Structure 1
Amino acid sequence: MPLASATPTACFSRCSASSETMLPSSAFKIPKIPRLGPPFWPWEKVKMGPLTVSPMGFGTWAWGNQLLWGYQEAMDGDLQDTFNLAVENGINLFDTADSYGTGRLNGQSERLLGKFIREFPGRKRVRDDIVIATKFAAYPWRLTPAQFVKACKSSLDRMQIEKIGIGQLHWSTANYAPIQELALWDGLVAMYEKGLVQAVGVSNYGPKQLVKIHDYLKSRGVPLCSAQVQFSLLSMGADQMQIKDICDTLGIRLISYSPLGLGMLTGKYTSSNLPSGPRALLFSQILPGLEPLLTALREIAQRRDKTIPQVAINWCICMGTIPIPGVKTVKQAEENLGALGWRLSSEEVSQLECAAQESPRKMIQNIFQTR
């Protein structure tokens, strides 16, 4: 993509330039041209292996998670309305996992997705176009390819669908149980060869392990379709950018989860207005240093007549990734859809990346992400 060259490395030189060489923010003003049509056109869809998906998907981590996201079964009606709105507006990629759901609700996200697909009131062609990307946990008792295939069949049963769009390893065991890793890889091969999934992907794989599994799967005749990592203006360190470069080189589509930094890039929270639950501690540590980035997001949002979350998600799209922000409500879905149908300029991308570098605290990486 033309904006992919606006990397943090390039940003360092621009940020360190003297103030006399920096363009005033007024030079970045973009004329407001109303978009006549849907959030995106059919030709703006993205190829991901054998699949064609919307330029943004939605994540469903919250659908069943009581601990972090306060899920209650009474929310299911609102979640179905949210799903319907997304699909009616062209979103056809939904990310889930067999481990999503707290306690007795384990697997609830998959069950709800399957139910919502079956009960979608729209055209059958639209319903059939939906792509489910689910992740299989590397539980310590999943030690053989057959156990991984069994996990895939269990997900199919929960969703009551015939085939999964993308079957993904939720994380690598290379850091703590390397002997289990090859069994997981062979499990991906087996579910692909048995026709249980249309494509395979990985999640939380660092640059070295990503190249290794790509080469192994290629040797087995199985293409690696996608790599899912935490990727946002709060999470654009050296490893994440290296993963992005590897994906571009090897033809792997990068799926960026937590594009809003668990909510820190929404502009909704401050040091004196923290979310409830476990996120509060993390937010209290990072938010005080985010003012440069939040200010830049706010300036661009005002200039573009957009919201802060829409600008943050659009940055991920401009970087050539497919962001999957989480949604729980119709309002959230409507706002996230506003990230589509337009693009930040290269100057705006640079402005955001420079501001991100000025913010002293960054998002911690998932502890399961390997090197």
Structure 2
Amino acid sequence: MTTPALHAELPLEARDNRGNRRHAALWHRKPSGSASGVFATPAVTLGGSPEGGGITLSRPIGIGTMQWGRTWLDGKLNRGGNLSEHACREIYQELRYKHGVQFFDTAEGYGGGTSEERLGDLMAQERQDATDAGANLHPPIIGTKFLPQLARWTKWSLHRALAASNARLGLQASDIYFIHTPVHPMPLEHWVAAAAREANKGHAKALGLSNCNAEQVKRACAEAKRHGQTIACNQIMFNLLCYGSPALRETEAVCRELGVTIIAYSPIGQGLLTRDLTQEKFDTIRVAKMAGISLADVQPLRQEVQRLAERHGKSMAQVCLNWTICHGAVPLVGCRSLAQARDSVGALDWRLEEEEVERLDAAALSMSTLAKPKWRRGLFVVFISLLMLSYKASRALEAVFSRSLWRSGWAKGSAAKSKGRVP
């Protein structure tokens, strides 16, 4: 294995007052002596400069593991069922060993913690492989999330949740600890203060938000500052289906001003912006139902993405991911196969031209989760709280079932041995 080379840094004038890279046309400058449209994608530092202790991603792309849960319930919830151990290992090793991808995103709510366990197992195997082969990869960067369920009210509940996540991941400290949602009867500042206290104790290296709008980002950053911490990133839905939304544009501007990196989940719109989208496939995509959009609504945007894909010899997904990177965000991609993993990294080391990005911006739709009314976001918290209870019940039943099978097998084995001793 070879160590992936660190990519060229942006010039100092492309940073804001906290040392973070600005989103601007600076992203589209052609490097001196490079071929048109071909360059090394710059590294990205989350929430600060490397000199100031920020977390640097040598490859500005992340892998989401929401569908890496292991439980029976995941098999019912995940479209296509659970991923096998072999499939997850194959995807992880391809991305880590061959492409140098560092950032993997998980949560205690993904598979009731089993996604974290699976990621922890894969990292443990990587450490063993590195020892055996003398490899020197950039270390993995792991983000996980605290879910403010309705059963949680105290700062101690966040402490216990983080300790449990770190144990499942096999880490002393998570690289980034996100607050999964700002919607809870307790104010957002309550959870930010609790997370900052854990970071000050060394249990998390950086703090993040998830699903926070502009006003919530401002409040969170102010609260973190009071405790000697900063907010490194905000994980939100960020794609061409919602970039026309005023709420998203305002959130992007505030994040840029405050030096908060956007982690872009659903960058290809759950498949709405990829090839071979039929009406049958469209009807199964949850985000389309939630937004109340039709296939006809998406077609003009899809045609623009397809045109650019053909021009650059790339897939539609790669164009969407590259557009995300051009906006200074880190795309978070869910991979269910080796083919999807390889296609995702194909979004790196080339770039759209500035006028192409502007054309896509103009064609973007205005669907956004940030503009949902509070009551709908509140329903999500109720749903996810019930889901977490279901995960606990599912894992408890699986444990009981496993013990029953073990006892049954042990009893049968003992009976067979006893029978064998009878003359």
TM-score, scaled relative to structure 1: 0.81
Match of 2:360 in 1: 352
SS of match in other structure, 1:97 = coil
Match of 1:110 in 2: 116
- Is this contact kept in 2: 1:57–1:325, CA < 8 A? yes
Q: 2:242 aligns with which of 218, 229, 235?
A: 235
Q: 2:304 aligns with which of 283, 296, 299?
A: 296
Match of 1:45 in 2: 43
TM-fit CA distance, 1:72 = 4.4
What is the identity, as a one-letter code, of the residue corresponding to 2:110?
Y
Q: Distance in 2 between matches of 1:95 and 1:352?
A: 27
Q: Deviations over 1:131-182 (max 9, x none)?
A: 1011110111221111101000010111122210000100102xx51x3533
Match of 1:69 in 2: 78
Higher fraction of helix: 2
Q: Distance in 2 between matches of 1:220 and 1:3?
A: 25
Q: Please list every run of 5 or more consecutive structure 1 residues that lacks an aligned counterpart in the other structure.
A: 7-30
Q: Distance in 2 between matches of 1:32 and 1:181?
A: 45
CA 353–3 in structure 1, closer or farther in 2 if over 3 Å, else same:
farther
Q: In the TM superposition, what are the counterparts of 1:154-233 in structure 2 within 5 Å? A: 154-173=164-183, 177=185, 179-233=186-240
CA 60–47 in structure 1, closer or farther in 2 if over 3 Å, else same:
same
What is the identity, as a one-letter code, of the residue corresponding to 1:222?
Q
Q: Which moved more, 1:186-195 or 1:316-325?
A: 186-195
TM-fit CA distance, 1:63 = 1.2
TM-fit CA distance, 1:70 = 3.2
Structure 1 position 317 matched with structure 2 position 325 = yes
TM-fit CA distance, 1:286 = 3.4
Match of 1:9 in 2: none
CA 115–245 in structure 1, closer or farther in 2 if over 3 Å, else same:
same
SS of match in other structure, 2:172 = coil
What is the identity, as a one-letter code, of the residue corresponding to 2:170?
Q
Q: Deviations over 1:27-62 (max 9, x none)?
A: xxxx87777xxxx57xx2211132111211111111
Q: Please list every run of 5 or more consecutive structure 2 residues that lacks an aligned counterpart in the other structure.
A: 1-13, 15-20, 26-34, 48-53, 381-423
Q: In the TM superposition, what are the counterparts of 1:4-15 in structure 2 within 5 Å? A: 4-5=23-24
SS of match in other structure, 1:198 = coil
Structure 1 position 245 matched with structure 2 position 238 = no
Match of 1:86 in 2: 95
Q: 1:254 aligns with which of 262, 269, 273?
A: 262
Question: How many pairs align?
Answer: 330
- Is this contact kept in 2: 1:143–1:184, CA < 8 A? no
TM-fit CA distance, 1:276 = 4.3
SS of match in other structure, 1:245 = helix
What is the identity, as a one-letter code, of the residue corresponding to 1:333?
A
Structure 1 position 56 matched with structure 2 position 65 = no
Identity of aligned residues (%): 27
Q: Distance in 2 between matches of 1:350 and 1:278?
A: 28
TM-fit CA distance, 1:68 = 4.4
TM-fit CA distance, 1:86 = 0.8
CA 302–250 in structure 1, closer or farther in 2 if over 3 Å, else same:
same
- Is this contact kept in 2: 1:3–1:346, CA < 8 A? no
SS of match in other structure, 1:228 = strand
What is the identity, as a one-letter code, of the residue corresponding to 1:238?
P
TM-fit CA distance, 1:223 = 1.2
Q: Distance in 2 between matches of 1:51 and 1:3?
A: 16
- Is this contact kept in 2: 1:62–1:71, CA < 8 A? no
Match of 1:119 in 2: 125
RMSD of aligned Cα (Å): 2.7
Larger Rg: 2
Highest relative contact order (Cα 8 Å, sep 6+), 1 or 2?
1
SS of match in other structure, 2:106 = strand
CA 128–196 in structure 1, closer or farther in 2 if over 3 Å, else same:
farther
Match of 2:151 in 1: 141
Q: Distance in 2 between matches of 1:332 and 1:164?
A: 26
SS of match in other structure, 2:209 = strand
TM-score, scaled relative to structure 2: 0.72
CA 223–277 in structure 1, closer or farther in 2 if over 3 Å, else same:
closer
Deviating above 6 A after TM superposition, structure 1's stretches of 4 or more consecutive aligned residues are 31-35
Q: Distance in 2 between matches of 1:182 and 1:273?
A: 41
Match of 1:98 in 2: 108
- Is this contact kept in 2: 1:286–1:362, CA < 8 A? no
SS of match in other structure, 2:205 = strand
SS of match in other structure, 1:255 = strand
Q: Distance in 2 between matches of 1:170 and 1:76?
A: 26
TM-fit CA distance, 1:368 = 3.7
Q: Distance in 2 between matches of 1:234 and 1:205?
A: 18
